[in-house]
Amino acid sequence: MKYDLDIVSLRRRYLAGELHPLDVVQDILAHIGDDTHHVWIHRLSFDEIKKYVTALQDKDPATLPLYGIPFAIKDNIDLAGVPTTAGCAEYAYHPQHHATVVRNLINAGAIPIGKTNLDQFATGLNGTRSPYGVCRNAYDPDYISGGSSSGSAVAVALGQVSFSLGTDTAGSGRVPAAFNNLVGVKPTRGWLSTRGVVPACRSLDCVSLFALNTADAHSVLAVAAGYDEQDAYSRQMLTHGFDFGLAKTFRFGVPRADQLQFFGNPEAAALFQKSVAAMQDSGGQKVEIDFLPFLKAARLLYERPWVAERYAAIREFFDARPESIHPVVREIIAGAKRFSAADAFDGMYKLEALRKEAALVWGKIDCMVTPTAGTIYRIDEMLADPIHLNANLGYYTNFMNLLDCAAVAVPAGFQSNGLPFGITLLAPAHQDVPLLHLASKLLDGGQNPTVQALLPGRIRVAVCGAHLEGLPLNHQLTSRGAHLVASTKSSADYKLYALPGGPPYRPGMVRAKQGESGSAIEVEVWEMAATEFGSFVAGIPSPLGIGTIMLAGGEKVQGFVCEQYAIADAEDITHFGGWRAYLASKEK
């Protein structure tokens, strides 16, 4: 590809009129070529994709957060008019409607490219259990890609789409992210609707996201999440007061040394220790925790009722067409028949006890960090020992949905053989945004250009003057529990004025009139609880007020604006590029 596919870069080019979505689609289809990595089960034709592009022709790119952004869909998630196979051609059906999450993304301007390969019926963490071919690692095709969302991850890693949808029941949205150097979001169960998704374990399933960076992941999550009244497992998103991802100090848990497993891979162990040190450098206070409750919960996933739940999901098809199912998948699901209803209740009782033990651990820490997977395997190794090695891959992932956690998989360096290593940041449910903030801090120092509001009950506001960090009125934000989200700039069509009446001086920021030259002005974006926003706005003196500010990346947030009449006798200070630079000039 001759340009980057990350969302911020594409949006910038769309907004500038330098690129059209049809150009991107044509380039992507040419780039995919012969699909030697076995990424795709069904690629849409140019004409099939064109109808999604045509639907955008009368839309303003600035009004759609994912305008023209290409994405891939794991083939157990419905795209209307395209077969859903779940990795089994004999099982395929033709949905008439999009899955809820797909509909949300398309309504926001995203363009589907096709359906991706997976471990059949989302049963596996390695990417080899598919009749459509073994999906190969993006960095070395002799190695596994991770599963079950294998094709979804490799499509992003190979630069064939900007982001993709997977699913995650036992680690399928995190292991492929680690093996292909991506950010993988396993959201709180129920944040993303699973209506229109072929279930693996319906009570545990999540729709997951793969992205190139945390900014993109945040943007997609903001669009994809939302309560679905028609999904029995959908949940309202909740707001928590403490955002450890933005805090200067926080407590993070690390499993005891004797509980860490790298399965004979010393390089992975060394990279994990570097990640722990990076967490400490970011303000984290390391707390060694007992990981045993989490490991015990992980073992329940394939020992008790949740294997039976996999059988329940496809029971009619499994009983009628067992020969159509991949041998390893068939062996795993067939094992469910030995469990009774009494076994199921026994497993649920054990899980409830482990939840209580895990809660004691969470009481000591804000979040936890583990390897995403302790090691990676060659494809031939996995095929020779498919169940045991797959179990190793789930050591750090299988407990997550059973214990109702949110998680973000984060790239954490490369081994000497050129293969990526990844860590996972995790916390109790509804801590998804703090986890993304922490991931951003680790990957890019927290300079996440996406500042779009996500959590209900939270409002983000751009400030350009005395409310900036370290300046006299910043306390009006911090005293209300506000957190700094991003230091960025406005779009390049604003003017900045020093209003008369100083010192103390006050800035006035206005949109440049048509035909008038403007500039990008330095701003900070702060987030606060909606319940605090009213009192904050009430304290803003005329002629200043709160309006809509366009940021450099195309996002719109609430921000300080000035009434036009007030700039008649004001000093034009646009050339300084920001209030701090202007104040510095006054001190000389």
The answer on 66 and 13 residing in a single domain is: yes
* Catalytic-role residue among 150, 162, 172, 282: 172
Give domain status of residue 452, yes or no: no
Question: pTM for the full model?
Answer: 0.79
Q: How many domains does the chain have?
A: 2
Please tell me the predicted confidence (pLDDT) of residue 240.
Answer: 61
Using a 10 angstrom Cβ sphere, with 0-12 exposed, 13-18 middle and 19 or more buried, the burial of residue 356 is exposed
Examine the domain organization and report whether 440 and 499 are in the same domain. no
| Domain contains 449 | no
CATH number assigned to the domain comprising residue 566: 3.10.490.10
Residue 172 among the catalytic residues = yes
450 within domain boundaries: no
> Is residue 583, in this structure, part of any structural domain at all?
yes
Question: Mean pLDDT in each 10-residue stretch from start to end of the chain (588 residues)?
Answer: 88 94 96 96 97 94 94 98 98 98 97 98 98 98 98 97 98 98 97 97 97 95 94 87 86 98 98 97 96 96 83 94 96 89 92 97 97 98 97 97 98 95 97 94 64 53 92 90 83 92 80 89 85 80 86 83 87 94 85
Active-site residue, selected from the candidate residues 148, 150, 490, 519: 148
What DSSP character marks residue 143? Answer: B
427 and 479 both lie in a single domain? no
Q: Are residues 362 and 428 in the same domain?
A: yes
- SS3 per-residue string spanning 457-483: CEEEEEECCCCCCCCCCCHHHHCCCCE
The conformation of residue 366, written as its DSSP 8-state character, comes to: S
Residue 286: exposed, middle, or buried by beta-carbon count in 10 A (0-12, 13-18, 19+)? middle
148 an active-site residue?
yes
H or E stretch including 523? strand 522-529
Residue 514 lies in a domain: yes
Domain-ending residue, one of 444, 467, 486: 444
Cβ pair 53, 21 in contact under 8 A: yes
- Whether 208 sits among the annotated catalytic residues: the reply is no
Task: Identify whether 1 is part of a domain.
Answer: no
Q: Are both 162 and 216 inside the same structural domain?
A: yes
Helices (H), 415-550: 432-444, 475-478, 530-538
The answer to whether residues 84 and 31 belong to one domain is yes
CATH number at residue 391: 3.90.1300.10
Domain assignment present for residue 420? The answer is: yes
Residue 2 within any structural domain of the chain: no
Q: Which sign, positive or negative, has the C-alpha torsion 398, 401, 405, 407?
A: positive
Residues 410 and 471 in one domain: no
Question: What is the number of other CB atoms lying within 10 angstroms of the CB of residue 544?
Answer: 18
Nearest alpha-carbon partner for 119 in 268, 311, 330, 353: 330
Q: Which domain holds residue 549?
A: 458-587
φ, ψ (nearest 5 deg) of residue 519: -155, 165
| Same domain membership, residue 472 and residue 350 | no
